[in-house]
Structure 1
Amino acid sequence: MTYRLTALAAAFALLPLTASAEQLTLTDVAGREVTLEAPAERIILGEGRQTYLLAILDRENPFARVVGWRRDLGEADPNTYALYEEKFPQLADIPTFGGFKDGTFDVEQAAALKPDVVLMNLEARTATEDAGYDDKLAKLGIPIVYVDFRENPTVNSIASMRIMGEITGREDRANAYIDFVETQMARVTGTLEKASFERPKVFVDRAGGYSEDCCMTFGPGNFGKYVEIAGGTNIAGDILPSTFGTLNPEQIIAANPDHVVVTGGQWDAYVPGGAWVGMGPGSDMEEARKKLQALTRRTAMTGITAVDTGQFHAIWHQFYDNPYYFVAVQRLATWLHPELFPDLDPEETLKELHKRFLPIDYKPGYWVSLNNE
């Protein structure tokens, strides 16, 4: 067995390097200067949901470069995973890893796959460094590049896309996508800049129904920022010091939000049969509406305006963690200010995103509302 492996390694050593491979030095979203061979042909995904990114750059096969990943996509977003698995069944055979944050990542397993780069989410940096993974991988000549679609998506998503365009040699595709994002965002920001309007108060119920506790939400970042960009006031924006946190029922009742936006997903892998609102491609909208209605009966929603007027909505949770965040901004804008956006159709935007940039077909199921839309 040892001889066969040695012979195989020697054979691979004789293969010529890709002609276009060269050293690339870049600055990642953590502000670190990183040098690697580019275009990277062997990538480890620190999170499976980074597929959202690679699907744009490697539309023909988002998994062609992936030699290992944390297989959270199938648990956090099973509907999307199923669409990709149907078209690219080889993804089921990709080696899987534990997480950097929970200390279950296997450095030796990673090294055996000879990756050109390990792609990590910015939020995992502290845990990665505390566990010494960065030093261990560096000693093996394996660089880590940090990207971010969660901590500060409205800023770092564009930067992350540019970085990944360089790493993969897909700068043209990255730039085309960035142009699309900026154009779609301007359809909201440009209109609001010229308009006179009042900002409705909004409570973003992060993963409402996921647990019996109430209520997780977003501070000034992520969905909280989306609300502000869309012309609303996030009621937790001045209360929570960081992106993620919790409000108690009394705080929500006292704020009396005009709109409630629940983020939802298909989370049977985490909370089987839970009260969460099922969102994502191909979701059952009738079932989602029933579960959304049930969430209006929680103590925290007692007597608030959003329940009385039916301005109670649910939206796909994963908009918080991928480069498609601009679609969520459009959807929020049309909920908060329908009179200002009569011609803005977020669903058409999402369809165009799929048609122009993604390898999977569009399927509805990303939002639902209790109002009369």
Structure 2
Amino acid sequence: MKEETILIRAPITLDRRRALAAGGGLFLALMGAGPARAALDFTDIRGRPIHLDGPARALMIDDSRYLVALSMISPEPIARVAAWPRDLNRLGATNFKRFQARFPAIDGLARVPSSSESFEAEPVLAAMPDVAIFTLNTGPSDAQVALLEAAGIKVVFLDFFTAPFRHQAPSFEILGRLIGREDQAAAFNKFRQQRLDRIAARLAGATGTPPKVFVEVHAGISPECCNSPGKGNVSDYIAFVGGHNIGADVLATTVGRLNLEYVIEAAPDIYVATGGSHLEKAGGLVIGAGYDRERVLSAFRKMAGRPGIAQLGAVTGGRAHGLAHELLNSPLDILAVESLARWIRPDLFADLDPAATMAEINRDFLAIPLDGTYWIDLPPI
């Protein structure tokens, strides 16, 4: 979804770029990735054939959540990153501080536009990556892609956003190949797919009308209600676990605004609010890394107590839930899927344990483990 972007300008560090270019062989040796420059041939998510002489030495990414994805397959997730958008609203202030403490070189990386901004070629050209990763349906035009590639920068489109069930696994696989960590990417894809298959198998024989779900994304980011997903993205998650997103009935895009009157008339069975540290100043739903349960519950009570929202049957009946937005649009979405499944179809998924899944991810995959409150249930009002 399109987030309000926090812009922090950082100087482009020539020494850092030279170190990235010179250090590829050392990195590969340390990471145990095999031959230093084995040729790569694959198709990106836009269906474009890509050829590289070997794993990337310097990546540009247009979304900070790629740092989280990289940290799931490499103990040194920024070792091959030359530039990123510093979109701290997506990464989260606490997570950024953890990256800074663990990998201080992050402060010297060049800044480029995020996928939520208008694309500019100049910062990308100045950063000198050998591979630029862009989010599907955003970023450069075809003419700008040609410009970048004429300068020797390979352009690769991935997608953790528009079609998460169709594109996430192959995108993660490509990311692993780009840094010589395809085995690690394959291991996590298997881990995620096993959990998705378990949910799909239980739903195969489910009957009845899918519960109606109202999702308010970035709850409290502005006084107006209600930002909500339309078709694709979060709506896909809801449908997968057996629910029906009321936003998809009236919004043709992946995200838009619903009138409060429409929400009230739709009478959703379940209310889910997403939030994060980027809503701290706005007084919205703070949830995720660095927040304890009491802080999150206090913020959620405030969101659920707004006129119109407080009167929803989902809120008065104890079917209101909060979810950290940082779990969406990244391989960490399996935690969001399991949480949504428990909320939307408790008759089928009451035994799912996202906390146990998170503990496994922390233990077996993440370079910087998750620590905080990422989902919460609101008691009946």
TM-score range, shorter chain: 0.7 to 0.9
- Residue in structure 1 matching 2:106, options 55, 66, 91: 91
- Kindly state the Cα deviation for residue 296 of structure 1 after the two structures are TM-superposed: 2.3
Counterpart CA distance in 2 for 1:140 and 1:330 is 44
Partner of 1:305: 313
Counterpart CA distance in 2 for 1:208 and 1:111 is 37
Supply the AA of the counterpart residue of 1:203.
F
Q: Deviations over 1:314-336 (max 9, x none)?
A: 10112222111121111011112
Against the structure 1 CA distance between its residues 135 and 368, is the aligned structure 2 distance closer, same or farther, given a 3 Å change threshold?
same
- Kindly state the Cα deviation for residue 168 of structure 1 after the two structures are TM-superposed: 1.8
Bigger mean CA deviation after superposition, 256-265 or 240-249:
240-249
* CA contact 2:121–2:148 (8 Å) conserved in 1: no
* CA contact 1:262–1:314 (8 Å) conserved in 2: yes
Bigger mean CA deviation after superposition, 251-260 or 15-24:
15-24
- Kindly state the Cα deviation for residue 87 of structure 1 after the two structures are TM-superposed: 1.8
Q: Provide structure 1 residue ranges, at least 5 long, that are not aligned to the other structure.
A: none
* CA contact 1:68–1:96 (8 Å) conserved in 2: yes
Bigger mean CA deviation after superposition, 296-305 or 183-192:
296-305
Counterpart CA distance in 1 for 2:90 and 2:331 is 19
Partner of 2:355: 347
- Residue in structure 2 matching 1:32, options 29, 42, 48: 48
- 1:241 is paired with a residue of what secondary structure? coil
* CA contact 1:80–1:280 (8 Å) conserved in 2: no
* CA contact 1:78–1:266 (8 Å) conserved in 2: yes
Counterpart CA distance in 1 for 2:236 and 2:125 is 39
* CA contact 1:49–1:73 (8 Å) conserved in 2: no
Bigger mean CA deviation after superposition, 188-197 or 172-181:
188-197
Q: Deviations over 1:79-98 (max 9, x none)?
A: 22222222222212222223
Partner of 1:63: 78
* CA contact 1:214–1:300 (8 Å) conserved in 2: no
| TM-score normalised per structure 1 | 0.87
- 2:66 is paired with a residue of what secondary structure? helix
- Residue in structure 1 matching 2:274, options 259, 263, 271: 263
Partner of 1:114: 128
Counterpart CA distance in 1 for 2:78 and 2:298 is 37
Q: How many residues are paired up?
A: 354
- 1:354 is paired with a residue of what secondary structure? helix
Structure 2 residue 320 is the aligned partner of structure 1 residue 320: no
Against the structure 1 CA distance between its residues 75 and 184, is the aligned structure 2 distance closer, same or farther, given a 3 Å change threshold?
closer
- Kindly state the Cα deviation for residue 75 of structure 1 after the two structures are TM-superposed: 6.3
Partner of 1:277: 285
Partner of 2:8: none
* CA contact 1:76–1:267 (8 Å) conserved in 2: no
Supply the AA of the counterpart residue of 1:129.
S
Supply the AA of the counterpart residue of 1:66.
V
Bigger mean CA deviation after superposition, 331-340 or 247-256:
331-340
Supply the AA of the counterpart residue of 2:321.
H
- Kindly state the Cα deviation for residue 355 of structure 1 after the two structures are TM-superposed: 1.1
Q: Superposed, which structure 2 residues align to 1:1-373 within 5 Å?
A: 20-58=36-74, 60-73=75-88, 76-99=91-114, 102-103=117-118, 105=120, 107=122, 109-125=123-139, 128-129=140-141, 132-196=143-207, 198-267=209-278, 273-301=281-309, 303-371=311-379
Counterpart CA distance in 2 for 1:301 and 1:101 is 28
* CA contact 1:119–1:147 (8 Å) conserved in 2: yes
- Kindly state the Cα deviation for residue 161 of structure 1 after the two structures are TM-superposed: 0.9
Supply the AA of the counterpart residue of 2:277.
Q
Greater Rg by CA: 1
* CA contact 1:76–1:265 (8 Å) conserved in 2: no
Against the structure 1 CA distance between its residues 75 and 192, is the aligned structure 2 distance closer, same or farther, given a 3 Å change threshold?
closer
- Kindly state the Cα deviation for residue 339 of structure 1 after the two structures are TM-superposed: 3.1
Counterpart CA distance in 1 for 2:231 and 2:25 is 50
Q: Deviations over 1:264-294 (max 9, x none)?
A: 00015xxx53131111122132122122112
* CA contact 1:331–1:346 (8 Å) conserved in 2: yes
Against the structure 1 CA distance between its residues 76 and 214, is the aligned structure 2 distance closer, same or farther, given a 3 Å change threshold?
farther
Against the structure 1 CA distance between its residues 339 and 362, is the aligned structure 2 distance closer, same or farther, given a 3 Å change threshold?
same
Counterpart CA distance in 1 for 2:44 and 2:348 is 38
Counterpart CA distance in 2 for 1:281 and 1:102 is 25
Bigger mean CA deviation after superposition, 23-32 or 250-259:
23-32
Q: Percent identical across equivalent pairs?
A: 32
Supply the AA of the counterpart residue of 1:169.
G
Which runs of 4 or more aligned residues in structure 1 lie more than 6 Å from their structure 2 counterparts after TM superposition?
Answer: 15-18
Counterpart CA distance in 2 for 1:244 and 1:110 is 28
Q: Deviations over 1:320-360 (max 9, x none)?
A: 22111121111011112223224310111111112111112
Q: Provide structure 2 residue ranges, at least 5 long, that are not aligned to the other structure.
A: 1-13, 29-34
